[in-house]
């Protein structure tokens, strides 16, 4: 996908602080963290958002969530807790249109969000 910063990160064409990678996903620290522990898990396959996933992406979506659990462990967030967030569209706060899951923790998080 041309002009997609997350595709560039997945392809190693743009630098990022990678915290986890496997065949399907890459996780890296967020440049504007909302908490001390904040990383993004992205699929290597370009999908603009969660609404663009199809039944063919079922295993990939599961892989994203399992990778998010692993990232939380690597960031030391598992014991106290963390939040997983996927935004869909600009009104939800999505600013990069490549599906991604935020892993956020390391401080007490308020509810409701937003």
Q: Active-site residue 46, yes or no?
A: no
Q: Which of 38, 98, 100, 102 is catalytic?
A: 100
User: ∠ CA 58-62-64 to the nearest 5 degrees?
Assistant: 115
- Say if 25 falls within a structural domain: yes
- What CATH number is attached to the domain comprising 48? 3.30.428.10
Per-residue pLDDT, 1: 58
- Say if 113 falls within a structural domain: no
- Say if 62 falls within a structural domain: yes
Q: Is the pLDDT of residue 113 over 90?
A: no
- Say if 112 falls within a structural domain: no
Per residue in 6-25, pLDDT (tens digit) is 999 999 999 999 999 999 99
Strand order in the sheet with 25-29: 18-21, 25-29, 37-43, 101-105, 82-85
Per residue in 20-75, pLDDT (tens digit) is 999 999 999 999 999 999 999 999 999 999 999 999 999 999 999 999 999 999 99
- Say if 82 falls within a structural domain: yes
- Say if 110 falls within a structural domain: no
- Structural domain including 47 reads 5-105
User: Could you give the number of structural domains in the chain?
Assistant: 1
Strand-pair partners of 42: 26
């Amino acid at each position: 996908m041309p002009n997609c910063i997350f595709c560039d990160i997945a392809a190693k064409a743009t630098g990022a602080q990678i915290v986890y990678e496997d065949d399907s996903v890459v996780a890296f620290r967020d440049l504007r963290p909302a908490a001390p522990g904040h990383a993004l898990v992205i699929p290597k396959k370009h999908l603009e958002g969660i609404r663009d996933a199809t039944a063919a992406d079922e295993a990939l979506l599961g892989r994203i969530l399992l990778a998010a659990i692993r990232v939380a462990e690597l960031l030391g967030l598992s014991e106290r807790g963390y939040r997983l967030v996927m935004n869909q569209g600009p009104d939800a706060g999505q600013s990069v249109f490549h599906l991604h899951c935020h892993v956020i923790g390391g401080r007490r998080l308020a509810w409701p969000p937003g």
